[in-house]
């Protein structure tokens, strides 16, 4: 039963991120989402008894719950920009769209995938929904940091897919993915910092001068 609680936690945190108006709440919601993901993975590891999943869960805890959000929050403090996210679509309409996307992934899971195991079906629908919403955040939020968070949310969704469909990827793949994520966050953080010093803003929609 507790796995459903964790899954709902992930979903609710994703909705929080969709309606978040400022950067710090967005990042805190991401931290909480990752925490639920960590708990979910641990519960799977206990029920499945796979030792490698414990290590992966540990990595989630260290990277996605502690290190990355802290790093992002520090960047926000450092570059001193307006903390508002900047919307292409207001939070109410975003939430409505998010609900529609959730329904779409639900439909997809049950009509197309024909998953029999209810628990697996639910978590797959959820994973798909989280991936789509990560993409949604990347598209409809203006500040460059929200693109990074959107990418991280998508990664969480993909991890969830892997873990529910086939009990996680091989450990080495998982490990390298985490490393990639961490490094990409660092690089993107540096980029955001540089963009800010160069243009005095981090509004992605203003960066549209094509080169060449």
Q: Distance (Å, rounded) from C-alpha 22 to C-alpha 183?
A: 24
Contacts of 6 (CB under 8 A, 6+ apart): 36, 37, 39, 40, 43
Residue placing its CB nearer to another protein in the complex, 132 or 169: 132
> Cα–Cα–Cα angle for 8, 14, 79, nearest 5°?
145
Q: Compute the least distance from the CB of residue 85 to another protein, in Å.
A: 13
Six token digits for residue 62: 């260290």
Q: Compute the least distance from the CB of residue 101 to another protein, in Å.
A: 8
Residue placing its CB nearer to another protein in the complex, 59 or 101: 101
Q: Compute the least distance from the CB of residue 62 to another protein, in Å.
A: 28
Residue placing its CB nearer to another protein in the complex, 155 or 174: 155
Six token digits for residue 157: 């969704």
Six token digits for residue 71: 């790093």
Residue placing its CB nearer to another protein in the complex, 57 or 145: 145
Q: Compute the least distance from the CB of residue 16 to another protein, in Å.
A: 20
Which residues contribute to the site for another protein (CB under 8 A)? 88, 101, 104-105, 108, 111-112, 128, 132, 135-136, 138-140, 142, 147, 204-205, 207-210
Q: Distance (Å, rounded) from C-alpha 104 to C-alpha 100?
A: 6
Phi/psi at 210 (nearest 5 deg)?
Answer: -75, 140
Q: Compute the least distance from the CB of residue 28 to another protein, in Å.
A: 23
Residue placing its CB nearer to another protein in the complex, 82 or 176: 82
- The torsion region of residue 86 among left (phi > 0), alpha (psi -120 to 50) and beta comes to left
């Amino acid at each position: 039963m507790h796995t459903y609680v964790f899954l709902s936690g992930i979903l609710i945190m994703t909705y929080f991120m969709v309606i978040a108006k400022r950067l710090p709440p967005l990042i805190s919601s991401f931290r909480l989402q990752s925490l639920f993901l960590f708990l979910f993975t641990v519960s799977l590891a206990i029920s499945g008894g796979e030792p490698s999943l414990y290590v992966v869960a540990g990595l989630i805890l260290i990277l996605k719950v502690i290190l990355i959000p802290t790093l992002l929050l520090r960047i926000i403090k450092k570059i001193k920009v307006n903390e508002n996210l900047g919307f292409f679509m207001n939070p109410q309409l975003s939430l409505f769209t998010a609900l529609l996307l959730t329904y779409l992934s639900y439909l997809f899971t049950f009509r197309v995938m024909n998953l029999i195991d209810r628990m697996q079906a639910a978590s797959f629908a959820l994973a798909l929904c989280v991936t789509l919403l990560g993409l949604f955040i990347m598209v409809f939020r203006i500040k460059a940091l929200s693109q990074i968070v959107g990418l991280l949310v998508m990664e969480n969704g993909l991890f969830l897919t892997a873990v529910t469909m086939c009990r996680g990827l091989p450990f080495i793949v998982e490990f390298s993915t985490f490393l990639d994520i961490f490094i990409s966050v660092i690089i993107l953080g540096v980029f955001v910092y540089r963009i800010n010093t160069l243009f005095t803003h981090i509004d992605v929609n203003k960066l549209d001068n094509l080169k060449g």
